[in-house]
Structure 1
Amino acid sequence: MLLGWISNFRSASRRSILLSLVAIVFAGLPIARGAEATLDVKNPPGSLIARGPGNMKILFGTPPQTQAGSGTLVVALVPYDRDGVLLGDPIASYRQSIRFTPQGADQSVNIKIPRAGLFAVDAKLIASGGETVASKRINIAAIVPRNTPPFSDFGVVTHFAQGKGSPDIVLPLVKAAGFSWIRDEIYWDRIEQKPGAFAFPSSYDEYINATSKFGISPLVVLAYGNEKVYPEYFKGGQSFPQTAEGRQRFVRYVDEVVRRYGAKVKYWEIWNEPAFAQIGYPDYVALLKAVYGQIKQRNPDATVIACGGGGAGGGPGGDCFLATVKDGALEYQDAVSVHPYMSPHIPETGYPTAGGAVSSVSIPTVWPYLHQLLDQNPKAGGRRVQLWITELGWPSRPASDGLNDASQAANLVRSYLLSRRYGGVNAMFWYDFVDDGRDESNREDNFGMLKNDLSPKPAYVAAATLSATLGSRSWNSALVDDADVKIYQYGKSSPVIVGWTTQSVGRVVSVHVPAGDYVQRDWQGVESPVTVAASDFKWTLGPLPAYLLPKAVAR
């Protein structure tokens, strides 16, 4: 009302004088604060993940305050438990005085991370009167230091071609977690925007070059159509090339890509999730044959992956491979890929199929089935077509589907363990590495191991612990292989025993292991000594896998 009265003065100079007088009057009066604000965390992206315990500096940006005076920045370090649940009590607290300013201020807090694991940092800005004026919760992590090479059979999906993330920031986090592969794209309509004129975005060069710099192998998807430049050839589903002319232009795009990146990229996947119900297998096979020959002409050592993950939505994923064999394209592929998503079902049991080649889509059923299928259809000279799982993942949201951060982490670790258990897969790629968005009600935004701001989720910490603990050990034996409990041994001379429950509740399980001294390690790397005096060890297990290592192995 007062400002409305002032605005009635037609003279700008008079309004200015009156506003100055009002400011002088109100400067000495308490001003009510609005709704609680959010503290900013100004750390460089990726710096909230440490390689092992130690000190971490967190830089907070406090919001502008209308009142002069002082307050207190209170920061609590809260751990997660063995079940991936955030505990209620902090293990450390920090208090620092801060001056309120109209511009806001930056305040750094040195936090000591006492051990490996995932932690929440709860920060509150408290005014002198005791009210909380701003707050923030963010995850930080100290991952188990790894002294083994990255997993040669495990990868993650990135979205650098979509402009999501800096390769120089993201790829070190990929490597630190123990992954040796990424899967990304080179989009046709981005590099040929005028007929016959090819120009590669600098972002494509950057991410391909960065994979070499960090020692990570890229698998690149070649897709999709180019309807904007060639509308006469791309009118069908997915803008898929369904004419000889369209295929010819797609092959020219492939040739330009392989000529530019073939020295650094050896693995090429043809299309992503083709809609076979719309385009038909014959058209895909025609494209596969043309593309295969062109890639091999440029780089005979390249690996060409067929099917693009298609054919797995309602079954085990062998339909595309069988169709390519029927249409004479067995010799035009070095590998085949599937995307056997199972969410929200668990990887051990998946979901039932109706009239399919297997009774359910799960890792214990699909992996052996596809392995056998490829064995039964060798290429010339007895060469076996490789099997690649180029997408598999579970989101951490929405809660309405029974999904959360802990269940995502459990499904991730168990999927990699089961994949190595059932074998036959050259590499499996988790979809995806970083959340695509921040909407917790949107499942597509929440498939990442890291949040959109690159802060860690339990899945990232669990993956890093898995890689540091399991290393290159292959599956050795099943100590317990019941429907609701899995205890497997990986490796023989330096074994690692891994156990979990397939149900959402924990239980105590008796397992036969040699007597001796062991180290128990949970999903986040927290360790405790265990002495097995008798041959039966009573092991408390839950959905998140735990590890039992002979003391000599754990050193």
Structure 2
Amino acid sequence: MLWKSLFAALGCAAALTVSAEAVRITPGGVDRPLISARSGEKTIRVKVEAANPDGLTLDLLACVYGERNPVAKVLKVPAKAETELRFRLPSVGIYDLCLIARRDGREVARTYTNYAVTPAPDYPRPDDFGACTHFAQGKGDYRRTFEYMKLAGFTRLRDDLPWSGLERKPKVYTISERIEKMVDIAPNYGIRPLLVTGYNTPAYKFARSFPTTGEQRAAFADAVAFAVKHFGNRVTEWEIWNEPNAMHPVNDYLPLLKEVYPKARAANPGITVISCGGGGAGGGPGGGMIVPILKAGGREFMDGFSIHPYMSPSDPDFGYAGYKSPIPRVEVRGVTRYLTGVTANNRKADGSQISCWVTEIGWPLEHPAARPDPVTEMKQAVYFARTMLLFRSTGSGTKVFWYDFQDDGIDPKNKEHNFGLIRTDYSPKPSYQAAAFCAWALRNRAFAGDLHKGAVITGPWNADRKALADGKLKIYQYGRGGDAVVALWAGDNRRYEVEFQLPFPYEQAIAFDWQGRRGVLPGKLDGNRIKLPVDFKVQYIVNKGK
């Protein structure tokens, strides 16, 4: 099916349209949702623009993502300016939609998009699942964005509160209407905002792109204190300056913290002040920003610190080799263990430990010509789930914000346009579906252990027999007893067959693939063991009683 492979290759853009005459078919958009909860009957609205609409009809073909055989068809629906198409989708998952316009049976235009069916959001959504939004930049519809974030399991967002908008004239403070609305509406969807402050303001003259004089630092701290007081308990998580990479941690950034922290906490003692803003080499995973600050006594001027440990195009399991770094590789578990150890050895005077926040991490889709092995839609989807599962497996409680929730543009060659889980037209990528099902499966279950003990790699592929011991093959348990869930994947992106023991009775086990489609478990072996093929995509085995 050529149309499927073509759409997958160009999937970083919005709906792809091919037309033989002046006919345009537009699915998606703020008012044409392509995401809903629960399987069953679905209705989509399609905008049809034609110089001559007479005699036009629409067909719809729906296939499970990446498969060839349609699971739903709608044929010969008379086209209108806004055409409704009704069809049934059999399960949770993401689907490829092909829309075809015909005149007298002859195809004149076709468009491709995706439709996501998520689990119902009636479960305890993960407290550590966050996403970055760009409402402060004028992007995004509040209610549609928050609805889709809720359906995908997110409970947190991160957005900007630029100093340049907060204080355009000295001591005259203004909160933008978009940020005010965002903060007001988000809680209705069970989402709590984190605001990151920073960026120079035209109210003062700066020699550098950062406040470096006592007057500038005091002015910035006063502006932050105003915002903290203004929002009260509506915003209790504040990040101080985004990626101050050009500034010296101790000479430039720490003096700012010393000015901001006491004023912000005086405005609202219940807030969490997060330092570093993802600054430091490589986004700070080796402690390039936080370690010098802690050594200089900065622990008393923060409650947490943030990193931006981007690893693309490498995978989250093994990442890339560290360069002049205290960690050998920049990968999720190693970074988290190292930084948790750093903070454990640098407690505040009251004995509390500062927390590590990942306020940006993500994998942008890459154009097929970018590299021999580019980041594809499927890789982005898989890496989202593996990232969240790996962070949870550290037991650190790290809050993780995916960058970002929605694409910033439609140029497939522009990296900054292609980080999103949904496209600019609000259509879902496979990564959106991976997020939604990972959230449903993981919930707030604590990591309960690695099930590789007693597991055996059996073949039939000529696989690495040390993959279990080396951590390449993951068999992770979250939750205990009747609440246990198992997630499996091959971190080295190879294919294995593994035999292992389930942590709950075989008869209670239900298998799901990465997107939430039910699978069939192989027959039970002695000792409540099963044998499964495992590859780079995450599989879940859930206790059906839960």
TM-score computed with the length of structure 1 as normaliser: 0.87
Q: 1:205 to 1:46 in 2, by over 3 A?
A: farther
Which has the larger Rg?
1
Q: Does 1:63 align with 2:49?
A: yes
Q: What is the CA–CA distance in structure 2 between the aligned matches of 1:378 and 1:188, rounded to whole Å?
A: 30
Q: Which amino acid aligns with 1:443?
A: K
Q: State the secondary structure of the residue aligned to 2:451.
A: strand
Answer yes or no: is the 8 Å Cα contact 1:462–1:523 preserved in 2: yes
Structure 1 runs of 4+ with >6 Å offset? none
Aligned to 2:63, the other structure's residue is in SS state strand
Aligned equivalent of 1:138: 113
1:521 is the counterpart of 2:512: yes
Task: Quote the residue 1:408 is aligned against.
Answer: 380
Shift of 1:169: 1.8
CA contact (8 A) 1:367 1:423 kept: no
- Asked whether 1:395 is paired with 2:367, we answer no
Counterpart residue identity of residue 223, structure 2: Y
Instruction: Show the counterpart of 1:245.
Output: 215
Q: Judging changes above 3 Å, is the alpha-carbon distance between structure 1 residues 206 and 444 closer, same or farther for their aligned structure 2 residues?
A: same
Structure 1 residue corresponding to 2:94, chosen from 90, 101, 118: 118
State how 1:172-187 maps to structure 2 within 5 Å. 172-187=147-162
Q: Which amino acid aligns with 1:428?
A: V
Identity of matched residues, %: 33
Please list every run of 5 or more consecutive structure 2 residues that lacks an aligned counterpart in the other structure.
Answer: 1-18, 453-467
Q: Is the partner of 2:277 in helix, strand or coil?
A: strand
Which residue of 366, 389, 401 maps to 1:429? 401
Question: In the TM superposition, what is the alpha-carbon distance from 1:37 to its structure 2 partner?
Answer: 4.3
| 2:24 partner letter | T
Residues 51-83 of structure 1, C-alpha deviation per residue, up to 9 Å, x if partnerless? 1112221122222234x7523311101112xxx
Shift of 1:279: 4.7
1:465 aligns with 2:463: no
- Give the distance between the partners of 1:475 and 1:134, measured in 2 at CA: 50
> CA RMSD, aligned part only?
2.0
Residue 12 of structure 1 is matched in structure 2 by: none
Indicate if the aligned counterparts of 1:312 and 1:338 stay in contact, CA closer than 8 A: no
User: What amino acid maps onto 1:513 in structure 2?
Assistant: L
Which residue of 2 is the match for residue 76 of structure 1? 61
8 Å contact kept, 1:310–1:317: no
What is the identity, as a one-letter code, of the residue corresponding to 1:549? V
Shift of 1:315: 5.9
Q: Please say if residues 164 and 199 of structure 2, whose CA atoms lie closer than 8 Å, have aligned partners that are also in contact.
A: yes
Q: Contact 1:312–1:339 at 8 Å: present in 2 too?
A: no
- Cα distance, 1:44 vs structure 2: 4.1
Deviation at 1:132, TM superposition (A): 2.1
The residue correspondences of 1:164-243 to structure 2 (distance < 5 A) are 164-226=139-201, 228-231=202-205, 234-236=206-208, 239-243=209-213
Which of the residues 275, 285, 295 maps onto 1:326? 295
* AA partner of residue 534 (structure 1): D
The 2-side partners of 1:411 and 1:193 are apart by 40
Question: How far, CA to CA, are the matches of 1:414 and 1:79 in structure 2?
Answer: 22
Instruction: Give the equivalent residue in structure 1 for 2:78.
Output: 98
- CA offsets 1:21-45 (integer angstroms, 9 cap, x no match): xxxxxxxxxxxx9557431126644
**Equivalent-residue separation in structure 2 for 1:179 and 1:357 (angstroms):** 32
Secondary structure of residue in 2 paired with 1:524? coil
Equivalent-residue separation in structure 2 for 1:546 and 1:241 (angstroms) = 48
Q: Which runs of 5+ in 1 are unaligned?
A: 1-32, 81-85
Name the CA distance, whole Å, in 2 between partners of 1:76 and 1:110.
11
> In the alignment, what sits opposite 1:262?
232
Report the CA distance shift for 1:288/1:127 in structure 2 as closer, same or farther (over 3 A). Answer: same
Check conservation: 1:347, 1:362, Cα contact below 8 A. Answer: yes
> Aligned pair in 2 of structure 1 residues 347, 275: CA closer, same or farther (>3 Å)?
same
Other-structure match for 2:476: 488
Compute the displacement of 1:441 (Å).
1.4
Aligned residues of 2:91 and 2:517 also touching (Cα < 8 A): yes
The answer as to whether partners of 2:283 and 2:307 remain within 8 angstroms in 1 is no
Tell me the equivalent position of 1:285: 254
User: How far apart, CA to CA, are the structure 2 residues paired with 1:384 and 1:244?
Assistant: 29
C-alpha distance in 2 between matches for 1:210 and 1:46? 21
Native 8 Å contact 1:389 1:425 kept in 2: no
The verdict on how the C-alpha distance between 1:363 and 1:63 changes in structure 2, with shifts beyond 3 A counting, is same
CA distance in 2, matches of 1:314, 1:170: 27
Counterpart of 1:491 in structure 2: which amino acid? G
CA distance in 2, matches of 1:319, 1:377: 15
Question: Secondary structure, in 3 states, of the residue corresponding to 1:370?
Answer: helix
Corresponding position of 2:496: 507
Q: Does the CA-based 8 Å contact 1:321-1:336 persist in structure 2? A: yes
Change in Cα spacing, 1:46 to 1:460, as seen in structure 2 (3 Å) is farther
In 2, Cα distance between equivalents of 1:196 and 1:364: 44
Matched, 1:273 2:265: no
Query: Aligned residue pairs: how many?
Result: 504
**1:47 aligned partner:** 33
Partner deviation per Cα, 1:357-405 (whole Å, 9 max, x = no partner) = 0111111211100010100111113211111111111112233241111
Aligned with 1:545 (options 531, 538, 543): 538
2:144 pairs with 1:158: no
**Cα deviation digits, residues 201-240 of structure 1 (max 9, x gap):** 21111001112332321111011111x2212xx121xx20
**1:149 and 2:124 are equivalent in the alignment:** yes
CA–CA separation in structure 2 for the residues paired with 1:390 and 1:315? 11
Q: Could you say what secondary structure the match of 2:276 adopts?
A: strand
Distance 1:462 1:45, change over 3 A: farther
Shift of 1:539: 0.8
**In the alignment, is residue 299 of structure 1 matched against residue 271 of structure 2?**
no
Alignment check: 8 A CA contact 2:23 2:49 kept: yes
- SS of equivalent to 1:438: coil
**Residue identity in the other structure for 1:508:** E
1:127 is the counterpart of 2:117: no
1:360 corresponding residue in structure 2: 329
**Paired residue for 2:412, among 435, 440, 461?**
440
| Partner SS for 1:509 | strand
Residues 1:342 and 1:142: Cα distance change in structure 2 (over 3 Å): same
Cα separation, partners in 2 of 1:216 and 1:42, compared to 1, 3 Å = closer
Alignment partner, residue 447 of structure 2: 475
Q: Which amino acid aligns with 2:512?
A: R
Give how far 1:262 is off. Answer: 2.2
**What is the Cα deviation at residue 312 of structure 1?**
4.4
Q: Distance in 2 between matches of 1:43 and 1:56?
A: 16
Distance 1:251 1:125 in 2: 58
